[in-house]
Amino acid sequence: MSSTHIPILILGATGYIGGSVLSRLLAHSDAKSFEITALIRSVEKAECLRGFGVKTVVGSTDDVEKLETLASHAHIVFSVVSTDDLPAIQAADKQGYLKSYIILHSLVYGMASGPFVDLGIQNPFSMQIPGLIMAAFDRGHVGMFGKGLLIWPSVHIDDAANLYLILFDAVLANPEKVGHGREGYFFVENGEHTWYDLSKAIGGPFVKAGLSKDSEPTTLTDEELIKYTGSVEIGHKMGSNVRCHANCARGLGWKPTKTNKDMFDNLSLEVSALLNIVQAKQQKAST
């Protein structure tokens, strides 16, 4: 590594959010001065990423020793892997000189795009909306959390990924100016929706595609919450009230461009993309 290069470690580079961050890092005007290393679980994906000039280490965040070594060589770590992986977070933090900047996502929507998606090495799908769509395929009718009255904030994947780069640029330009630690929490949202409105909007493309006769969502039972979210508790959490304002992000100059209208308008694309995957799997299983 040349002394003029900034060593950067990225965790979760093949993920929906992480891949969108990595593609932006590689397109950054100063990209030539970055030395990016990605910890990747798949040998094939690691090899593919090397073609983009990304150094790769094959392994998992479960290997805390490996992670500590990688983190100790990096000046900047993008951790876009599990938000609940405490040992992995501590492996960045152990030596006590870490400045942490925590990006707190709301519901991230839209299909990710870019070179890694095109090559099939990045997950293009988010969590909540695809989860509701897949559940609707299974039960033949769109479901919703509770009566659908509670509210969540949302943000488009491109706007969410752009914030990482805006924060990165701000920290590189003047770290003293950007709050970190307790002051370094950045909520991400550009609008709110009720779960009813979201489920109802998913119901529309379902009826159009002939997958359901009725677009009116029905409440997911406890058994269905276990089946589709893993537990009743997780299901209740997902259908809860979550409200925030992205004041700190906007204070950095972040200007999200996509709104809830984009989220609702593009649901049919996501329904057909997921339907294609389900049908291809069914066809493979039957041959």
Ligand X SMILES: NC(=O)c1ccc[n+]([C@@H]2O[C@H](COP(=O)([O-])OP(=O)(O)OC[C@H]3O[C@@H](n4cnc5c(N)ncnc54)[C@H](OP(=O)(O)O)[C@@H]3O)[C@@H](O)[C@H]2O)c1
CB 30 within 8 A of CB 103: no
Candidates 57-65, 197-205, 234-242, 248-256; binding stretch for ligand X (CB under 6 A) = 57-65
CB of 287 to ligand X, least distance (A): 27
Among 17, 46, 54, 246, interactor with ligand X by CB under 6 A: 17
Quickly list DSSP for 98-135: PPP-EEE--EEES---SHHHHTT-S----SHHHHHHHH
Position 105 contacts ligand X (CB under 6 A): yes
CB of 213 to ligand X, least distance (A): 30
Position 12 contacts ligand X (CB under 6 A): yes
CB of 215 to ligand X, least distance (A): 23
Sign of CA dihedral 32, 36, 41, 46: positive
Q: How many residues bind ligand X (CB under 6 A)?
A: 24
Among 8, 18, 78, 164, interactor with ligand X by CB under 6 A: 18
Residue type, 179: G
Position 15 contacts ligand X (CB under 6 A): yes
CB of 234 to ligand X, least distance (A): 11
Cβ-based burial of 248 (10 A; exposed 0-12, middle 13-18, buried ≥19): buried
End-to-end C-alpha distance for the chain, whole angstroms: 51
CB of 286 to ligand X, least distance (A): 27
Candidates 9-17, 94-102, 167-175, 194-202; binding stretch for ligand X (CB under 6 A) = 9-17
Strand partners, 193: 152
Position 23 contacts ligand X (CB under 6 A): no
Distance (Å, rounded) from C-alpha 132 to C-alpha 11? 27
Beta strands in 172-254 (DSSP E): 185-187, 192-194, 218-219
Position 90 contacts ligand X (CB under 6 A): no
Tokens of 68: 């500590």
Tokens of 21: 């961050």
Position 249 contacts ligand X (CB under 6 A): no
CB of 91 to ligand X, least distance (A): 11
Among 71, 77, 80, 135, interactor with ligand X by CB under 6 A: 80
CA gyration radius for the chain? 20
Position 108 contacts ligand X (CB under 6 A): yes
Position 238 contacts ligand X (CB under 6 A): no
CB of 27 to ligand X, least distance (A): 18
Q: Nearest-CB residue to ligand X?
A: 15
Binding mask 149-188 for ligand X (x = CB under 6 A): ----------------------------------------
Distance (Å, rounded) from C-alpha 9 to C-alpha 22? 10
91: Cβ contacts below 8 Å, ≥ 6 apart: 61, 64, 67, 68, 71
Give me the residues that bind ligand X (CB under 6 A), please: 12-18, 39, 41-42, 60-62, 80-83, 105, 107-108, 123, 126-128
